[in-house]
Amino acid sequence: MKQIIPFLLVGILLFSGFGAVANSKNICEGISDLKNLKTSVTPLALPDITDCQIIDSDNGQKIYVEGFGRLSTPGEPNLPSKIFSIAIPPGAQFVNLYYKNSEEIIIPGNHIIRPITPPQLTGKDISSTLDIYNQIFEDNYDSIYNCDTSYPEDIVEFVRTSGYRKYNIVDVRVTPFTYNPLSGQLKYHPEITVFIEYNNPQENLNIMSDDSFKTEKIAREIIVNYEQVKQWYQSNNCSSQGLYDFVIITLDSLTSAVTPLVDWETEKGRTVKVVTTSWIDLNYEGYDLAEKMRNFLREKYPTEEWGIEDALIVGHWNDVPMRKTSQKLFIPDGENAETDFYYAELSLPDNESWDADEDHKYGEILDSIDFFSEINVGRIPWSDFETVQHICEKSVAYEQNNDTSFKNNILLIAKFINQNTDGATFMEYCVNEELHPWMSS
């Protein structure tokens, strides 16, 4: 049976984008040399050092910072890291990035920060993929751990330009700890200010009219300089919903099968529109049906159009396609991953994002995809009328059920990751640590 992997790309396309980063000592000369540019100045809110934890283990130490992920390249020190999203004016183009950090805090002791290990892959014909990752590990480990240079060299790095609906965003990665492997010195940088240089936006720019309570709440959570951003956009008095805030894309044969769900969502106050693939195919341009569907969603999601917040795709992927991507390096069995995230990330047209070189190989490493979903996308992956209708009825019944003992129980399914690793152990950890409120029993 074919796997549904709608969010695979989120984890494997982090290499998109390229930019220049300069040390803080070059800030003044960099800005003075480029008088035609403007600069956005953003102080970043970082945790207090007392909120950071260093955990000892048999093979080294690991640092935990709440709200931070960590670096992911094999062979690098396993340090906390986080991507911050900073908005620049609509129509402006990113030029350069600088940062200024305060005096660092030296953490007492001789520290041994373990490196990131190669991923543990299973499947057929994976030896070449394992060889690639092992070579990456060895090269990075040798270059980093055999000298005493502070790692990383730059605690702030440009990641990519991106966008969330009407907002123009620059993503920067911040790694607030630096590590000297030979001396074991560990330092923390508690205060960092980022300077982003950008070209003046063009005059008479047609700025997207896109305001809703729900999406503005998300923007406020995503964008670290959101209060500054508001001055760049004319307020359109945010409405609580658009013309059609919930869109269902399905086959002509299934339009009445989704009626139970449409009726329930309407009763809840949603504005629902059912659109067929045949109508999209007839009314939109694109290389294939998938691109036509994405072009439809790109046109209609702003509140000046329909104000789409959520989209449900109903139909088997053979009938309502997922986007096949070119990710063979990361797929052990050599197959190309397929994803519905293609319909959620709508910032730019295909020829500027998912297929930037227009070779119809989507989601390649150099394609400029960002990872903010303009809309939420889900799928009912069946094309059988009775099955779809039953799923819609069950979904409605679940929402209407007020039995909290029923809703507070969940079955966590896991598999053996490899011959030595039972995934059920991680599920037990999730329950025991109560990672979510509903994981209490």
Question: What is the DSSP code (8-state) at residue 293?
Answer: H
d(CA 174, CA 188): 12
Q: Which residues of the chain have pLDDT under 70?
A: 1-36, 120-126, 202, 204, 234-241, 327-335, 417-421, 432-441
Omega within 30 of 0 (cis) for the link into 152: yes
Contacts of 46 (CB under 8 A, 6+ apart): 174, 176, 189, 190, 191, 192
Q: Write down the pTM of the prediction.
A: 0.78
User: What are the structural domains of the chain?
Assistant: 34-232 (2.60.40.3800), 241-400 (3.40.50.10390), 404-441 (no CATH)
CB 145 within 8 A of CB 115: yes
Tokens matching residue 224: 């670290």
Q: What is the pLDDT of residue 12?
A: 27
CB 387 within 8 A of CB 316: no
CB 166 within 8 A of CB 151: no
Please tell me whether residue 239 adopts helix, strand or coil conformation: strand
Q: What is the pLDDT of residue 9?
A: 30
Query: How confident is the model over 26-66, as pLDDT tens digits?
Result: 433 444 344 567 888 899 988 888 888 888 887 888 899 98
d(CA 171, CA 57): 33
For residue 126, count CB atoms less than 10 angstroms from its CB and return exposed for 0-12, middle for 13-18, buried for 19 or more.
middle
Planar angle of CA 104, 196, 352, nearest 5 degrees? 130
Tokens matching residue 424: 């059920």
Q: What is the pLDDT of residue 255?
A: 97
- Look up tokens 């930019």; give the residue: 19
Burial 392-416 (b: 16+ CB within 10 A, else e): beebbeeeeeeeeeeeeeeeeeeee
What CA–CA distances, in Å, run from 285 to 250, 279, 347, 349, 383?
18, 12, 17, 12, 24
d(CA 177, CA 95): 26
Q: What is the pLDDT of residue 24?
A: 40
Closest CA to 316 of 373, 229, 384: 384
Q: What is the pLDDT of residue 56?
A: 87
Centroid of chain to Cα 283: 30
